[in-house]
Structure 1
């Protein structure tokens, strides 16, 4: 049994506990001008490369009392049974049916499980045109966190919960468990492009850009019509302890600066 009650819980604390942590760029951003520097995020072991989809980071939070919440990256938008949900970016409309299904299929347990999905297409971002001409909306799973021992954490001030989260406190499904879980629930993940040894990752800006263009000449998740431009890559260790992103726009901006803006 669980003592958790979604209607009595401190939802500010739940929101902070379940936010997805910020992802650094693979090459460090220069705080002076937003350009890329030579230092890279250090990886070890096998690194999974996936497509970075240009959408909005979204959450389905399954709570121990058999309920769920739907959220954007920053805020909670809907709880099961609400008559009115926050319509921001169409996230609730895109994920409500899936949330109901995941709730029905969930294995009972005293934990909070968070499904992180990219909602894209429609009018979600300026890049939606690369995925759909008919304003279709899709979603792709990219991570799942299982949070045991949540009760003590929810008693902490929100600022301390944020410190715990940003310090790597959340427990992630590893690569194998994530893909197994997705298959079991019939969920499409962000496309897996390659698994490489960390020692083989490019460190040079131009070589990293070449990897981007070789692996992603276009998006692999178009919803209709011809596929357009991909946003970039996400790099993850198998256990999710290190994550970074590499976006086309950052490397193209760096190349323009080196060529004098041409």
Structure 2
């Protein structure tokens, strides 16, 4: 696969195959009211807990011909060499210097660094991370796509089904941290490593674990650290992943308390 050319490639396909998939909540969401159900995602082996930063998902897409793209969660915003980029949420301004110093992906793969951009005016929660509207970012995942040639020729619905069905290959914990170190990228903070059997399955106990492990954000850019959004849980090989947000547990427990 040495004939990729960003000038002729279907960028709609590239955008679709590199979007970050949705992550389930650790306790399932009730579609009727958005509360949490008792059913939870099953884990095996070691589970790594990281801070879930309240910002916006952004992508640095390194392509086989040495070019690169920057994107938000849903759309592409900038290509290497562009004179004008989409200024949405400050993603291009923050990540262009990072993309410029990343090593090329290689001739046979598309590599995607997924980061959470936060602070500034990115979300309503930005004030929890900065008092001066500083902007920061943290790496949380890396995908390596080797079968891109077939996907570039595929219809949109097939690419979406491939992505939503777990077709993207993400680096496991060891390789993710190694890649971050090699490229000089800051990752989302590691909070704890637990055995799957240690994870609470009750909603009340999971809420207590959140408060114990992450009473305040650990990635404040300046000022007093504010409340954290929650925790992401990952298996060692990254085959299982889930998120646990304070607001989901607090809303559920308030409702349950109101019914007593």
Q: How does 1:95-114 map to 2 (within 5 A)?
A: 95-102=95-102, 105-106=103-104, 108-114=106-112
Question: Could you say which residue in structure 2 is the equivalent of 1:59?
Answer: 59
Tell me the secondary structure at the aligned position of residue 259 of structure 1.
helix
Q: More deviation in 60-69 or 41-50? A: 41-50
1:30 aligns with 2:30: yes
Query: What is the SS of the residue equivalent to 1:183?
Result: helix
What's the CA shift for 1:108? Answer: 2.9
Q: Which residue of 2 aligns with 1:158?
A: 156
Describe the superposition over 1:113-151 as per-residue Cα deviations: whole angstroms up to 9, x where unpaired: 000000000000000000000000000000101111210
Identify the residue that residue 84 of structure 2 maps to in structure 1.
84
Q: Counterpart of 1:170?
A: 168
Gaps of 5+ in 1: none
Contact in 2 for aligned 1:50/1:235 (Cα 8 Å): yes
Match of 1:249 among 231, 247, 250: 247
Shift of 1:173: 0.9
Shift of 1:261: 8.3
Moved over 3 A (4+): none
CA contact (8 A) 1:168 1:241 kept: no
Match of 2:73 in 1: 73
Aligned counterparts, 1:8-27, within 5 A: 8-27=8-27
Give the RMSD, CA atoms, in angstroms.
1.3
Number of residues of Structure 1 aligned to a counterpart in Structure 2 = 260
Residues 145 and 168 of structure 2 are in contact (CA less than 8 Å); yes or no, is this contact kept in structure 1?
Answer: yes
Separation of aligned partners in 2, 1:170 and 1:26: 21
Superposed displacement of residue 107, structure 1: 5.5
Distance in 1, Cα, partners of 2:251 & 2:189: 25
- Single out whichever of 80-89 and 209-218 deviates more from structure 2: 80-89
Shift of 1:53: 0.1
SS at match of 1:208: helix
| Residue aligned with 2:222, SS | coil
SS of equivalent residue, structure 2 residue 2:
coil
**Maintained 8 Å contact 1:115/1:144:** yes
Residue 245 of structure 1 aligns to a residue whose secondary structure is strand
Distance 2:189 2:87 in 1: 27
Between the aligned partners of 1:130 and 1:261, the Cα distance in structure 2 is: 32
1:196-215 correspondence runs (5 A):
196-215=194-213
Deviation at 1:106, TM superposition (A): 2.6
Q: Deviations over 1:169-199 (max 9, x none)?
A: 1111110011011111111100001111111
**What are the ranges of 5 or more consecutive residues in structure 2 without an aligned counterpart?**
none
